Amino acid sequence: MAHTTHILSVGYDATLMPLRSMLLRGTGYVVEESYSIAKAFLRAQSDAIDLLLICHTVPENDQKKLIAFVRSVRKLLPILCITNQEFAYSADGCLSVTNSPVELLEAVISAANRAPECRI
């Protein structure tokens, strides 16, 4: 049976997040949105989450906290950080991707294909 990739998308913009989720869902991914770091901390612990996507609307300090926490409990979980400019710096432990829909989809596909399969 094929596995559907579950993405936890974290961001602070209530307009941007649903648009990004719609794009990802239209490509066949299951997307859960989190508008707070506290909720993201809780959900990222679940083995049901296959990929963490952090929006550029999340301040760098919050990104670093979230990434450090996730790495402490899910060392192999792919984490993508969306930047709003090309060649922007991204927090350690996070793969940087621009806000372009095409580049985002390519990065998600690549990260999802490299993610270890943990399900039975």
- For 52-92, the pLDDT digits (tens) are 999 999 998 999 999 999 999 999 999 999 988 665 555 67
Residue 107 sits in which domain range? 6-114
Average pLDDT of the segment spanning 26-33: 96
Specify whether the CB–CB gap between 107 and 113 falls below 8 A: no
What pLDDT does residue 3 have? 75
Backbone angles phi, psi at 83, to 5 degrees: -110, 155
Asked if residue 33 is part of any domain, the answer here is yes
DSSP 6-36: EEEEE-S-TTHHHHHHHHHHHTT-EEEEESS
Average pLDDT of the segment spanning 85-106: 79
Confidence at 118, pLDDT banded by 50, 70, 90: very low
Specify whether the CB–CB gap between 97 and 81 falls below 8 A: yes
- Which CATH number goes with the domain that contains 50? 3.40.50.2300
Average pLDDT of the segment spanning 14-35: 95
How many domains in the chain? 1
Asked if residue 18 is part of any domain, the answer here is yes
Burial class (CB in 10 A: 0-12, 13-18, 19+), 43: middle
